[in-house]
Amino acid sequence: MSMVANRQATGGDRSARYAGAIDCDLHPAVPGMNVLLPYLDDYWREMVSVRALDRLNLSLTSYPQNAPLSCRPDWTLDQGRKPGSSLKAMQEHVLDRYQPRYGILNCLYGAQVFHSEDMAAAFCRATNDWIRDEWLSRDPRLRASIVIPAHNTELAVAEIERRADDFRFVQVLMLVSGEVTLGRRQLWPIYRLAERLQLPIGIHAGSAYRYAPTPVGWPSHYVEDYIAQSAAFENQLQSMIAEGVFAKFPDLKVVAIESGVTWLSGFIWRSDKTWKGVRAEVPWVTRAPSEIVRDHVRFTMQPIDAADEAEAILRLVDHLKSDRLLLFSTDYPHWQFDGDEALPLGIPDELLRKILSENALATYPRLSKADHAMEITL
């Protein structure tokens, strides 16, 4: 092991360890519907008033505001403001503290899950425009995911196309639990466009709660829902593999965000073993699922759901025979780690470099394109 990987990185050491990294999961919070009103057309502004939509708390219940996990104590904001709703605080807590080269914003907000498809599309448009103006335009280190109404493919495609020319948007954001399994062909126009535009599909932990979040019914407690998220990721990865998404779109990348990682070894083993026995029903799956995952799927590092985090990471890299799978993230402002070490000590330098930046640069081609576009503009 290298000295860099094993030393206690504090102060300047911490900055040196993380400087130039790419943080693949930052959460800007919409402070209130009032900030979206300027981005809504006259009809939807009237609907906000007539239907009292501004009284709704549209924070996704996957992260209840008062649950300790939803925000680190030292990342809370004063005056009852939503964690993550201040760019200045994000700069102080993460961007200036860890000095990443880029940070990717994943906005989790009720816009994605309105039952009305037209309303969802309108609020997704407003959310993306608000992120553009209030976050991307105010800090050149920031990039963002495109929030889409995934339950209407036509409207989702239209929103992706609307944002396609702004290379600061580097990913398409979907929830792991929506209305259908993500491999279903009704969603393929989203993947086709994402592949063409070099936009990975970011699948984030969370649910639209159209159905019970576990296969056996509704849980009673938040801890049950939270732990069940990894099972949802297993289901969705298996769906995308079995339905042939990666055979149809060979250049598509998928990023599992906040999925955890300890379930992956067992999932790969079971998928490969079962595929060998029943592959006749899915002739388009011509490679083992483990190979498909290695080529197409990446995983953000927080939360690291293992007791010995460094050992679990090294074991996973060995099991999956790839050091390209893992992406650095802080998951700001969620409480996934204490102190300043967003990654465990004990990771060899070469692997650490890949996790911090190289894997993300290979996953998100538009990161560098955004810099080039801004240079041309200047």
* Residue at 196 is within a domain: yes
* Residue at 38 is within a domain: yes
Say if residue 313's pLDDT is above 70: yes
Position 15 scores a pLDDT of: 59
Say if residue 28's pLDDT is above 90: yes
pTM: 0.91
Strands 254-257 and 201-207, by their bridges, are: parallel
* Residue at 75 is within a domain: yes
pLDDT greater at residue 372 or residue 244: 244
Contacts for 351 with CB less than 8 Å, ≥ 6 apart: 313, 314, 317, 323
Mean pLDDT along residues 86-101 = 94
pLDDT band at 7 (very low <50, low <70, confident <90, very high): very low
Position 372 scores a pLDDT of: 57
Mean pLDDT along residues 116-137 = 95
pLDDT greater at residue 84 or residue 184: 184
Mean pLDDT along residues 247-276 = 93
Mean pLDDT along residues 118-141 = 95
Q: What is the mean pLDDT of the chain?
A: 88
Say if residue 376's pLDDT is above 50: no
pLDDT greater at residue 89 or residue 211: 89
Q: Is residue 172 classed as helix, strand or coil in its secondary structure?
A: strand
Closest to 95 (Cα-Cα) out of 166, 145, 26 = 26
Domain containing 118 equals 19-377
Say if residue 16's pLDDT is above 90: no
Say if residue 95's pLDDT is above 90: yes
Position 12 scores a pLDDT of: 47
CATH number of the domain that residue 229 is part of: 3.20.20.140
Mean pLDDT along residues 214-223 = 86
Helices (H), the chain: 3-6, 12-18, 42-50, 87-90, 96-98, 117-134, 153-163, 188-196, 222-243, 245-248, 264-278, 289-296, 309-320, 349-353, 359-363, 366-377
Q: Is 151 exposed, middle or buried (0-12, 13-18, 19+ CB in 10 A)?
A: buried
Mean pLDDT along residues 285-293 = 94
- Give the span between the Cα atoms of 81 and 60, in whole angstroms: 16
* Residue at 12 is within a domain: no
Say if residue 3's pLDDT is above 50: no
The tokens describing 214, both together, are 């576990």
Q: Which of 8-17, 28-37, 259-268, 296-305 has the lowest mean pLDDT?
A: 8-17
How far is CA 373 from each of CA 160, 171, 197, 363, rounded to the nearest angstrom? 18, 17, 15, 19
Position 14 scores a pLDDT of: 57
* Residue at 5 is within a domain: no
Say if residue 86's pLDDT is above 70: yes
**What does the pLDDT look like over 33-60, one tens digit per residue?**
889 999 999 998 888 888 888 777 777 6
- Give the span between the Cα atoms of 13 and 209, in whole angstroms: 43
Say if residue 324's pLDDT is above 50: yes
How far is CA 277 from each of CA 183, 266, 329, 335, rounded to the nearest angstrom? 21, 17, 37, 42
* Residue at 162 is within a domain: yes
Closest to 44 (Cα-Cα) out of 123, 107, 146 = 123
pLDDT band at 374 (very low <50, low <70, confident <90, very high): low
* Residue at 1 is within a domain: no
Please count the structural domains in the chain: 1
Percent of the chain at pLDDT exceeding 90: 56
Say if residue 207's pLDDT is above 60: yes
Say if residue 5's pLDDT is above 60: no
